[in-house]
Amino acid sequence: MVKVNKKGKKGEFKETTPLDVVYFILPFISLGLVVFLWYSVSTNKPDMFPSMTATWARLVKLFKQPIMRVPYYGHILASLKRVVMALAAAIVIGVPFGTMLGWNRKLDCFFGSIFNIIRPIPPLAWIPLIIIAFGIGEFPKVLIVFIGAVMPIVINTRAGLRSVDQLYLDVGTLFDANRRQILMEVAIPSAMPAIIAGIKTATSTGWMVVLAAEMLSAKSGVGFLVTRGMDANDMPLVLVAMITIGIVGALLGVLTSLIERLLCPWLQIK
């Protein structure tokens, strides 16, 4: 229907349909259901599952009373620091390595099979060897996260470089670009979306691995809070830590999407 908008222009305008309202409400309904489930389970089986009030109270207490002399946000920062350090190392090493494998057939043949065997080993399986070699300080934790984060980056970078459209490479050749120029100006930009996707996977993997690593031997970090709660039979603390993990993880996802938008602006066009 032809209408007039606020600026006095005639046209057909998009209106809010009932379906739009449904799309808007659905996430809240699911969240409400989780809360309801939590409420009903914790009311019926108070020994099995901490109540919402207890969890909230634990969170408030956590703000007032540090654990191992580290405040609540300090634990979050400790975990984030380990992930960021490992991720930075994984990008600096993983992207060039993946590029080498994807670009050079000989190197791919040389490293490919070793990489394929190492890849499926879960990062946590390295813990015993790493503890023997490096003890239980900060470095071994970062190293474990690094192992988890570097794999998706290498795999995605390699795949991205192998699937560069031949047409783009031909254009590079016809403009008389040398092989290095074709790699830097054509192949890597073309593989950029795949590389970023690898970094996104690496971030979420890294966040999972750091928590697991902290549950084994740490004096700080959100994973440490989970173990601490378990050891002290303090289930509200475990729940606070779990919810923290979920929220921080989701925020990391948003952050990496923003970085993707920044680095690959052409992907936003639909």
What is the binding site for other proteins (CB under 8 A)? Answer: 167-168, 170-172, 174-177, 181, 185-186, 189-190, 192, 264-266, 269
**Taking the complex as a whole, how short is the minimal distance between the CB of residue 102 and other proteins, in angstroms?**
17
Three-point CA angle 218, 219, 220, nearest 5°: 95
**Taking the complex as a whole, how short is the minimal distance between the CB of residue 193 and other proteins, in angstroms?**
9
CA distance 221 to 219: 7
CA nearest to 153, candidates 111, 199, 93, 200: 199
**Taking the complex as a whole, how short is the minimal distance between the CB of residue 256 and other proteins, in angstroms?**
19
CB burial of residue 108 (10 Å; 0-12, 13-18, 19+): middle
**Taking the complex as a whole, how short is the minimal distance between the CB of residue 163 and other proteins, in angstroms?**
14
Q: Which residues pair with 4 in a beta bridge?
A: 10
Which residue, 108 or 185, is less far from other proteins as judged by CB?
Answer: 185
CA distance 191 to 158: 9
Is the backbone of residue 135 left (phi > 0), alpha (psi -120 to 50) or beta?
left
**Taking the complex as a whole, how short is the minimal distance between the CB of residue 196 and other proteins, in angstroms?**
12
Which residue, 199 or 225, is less far from other proteins as judged by CB?
Answer: 199
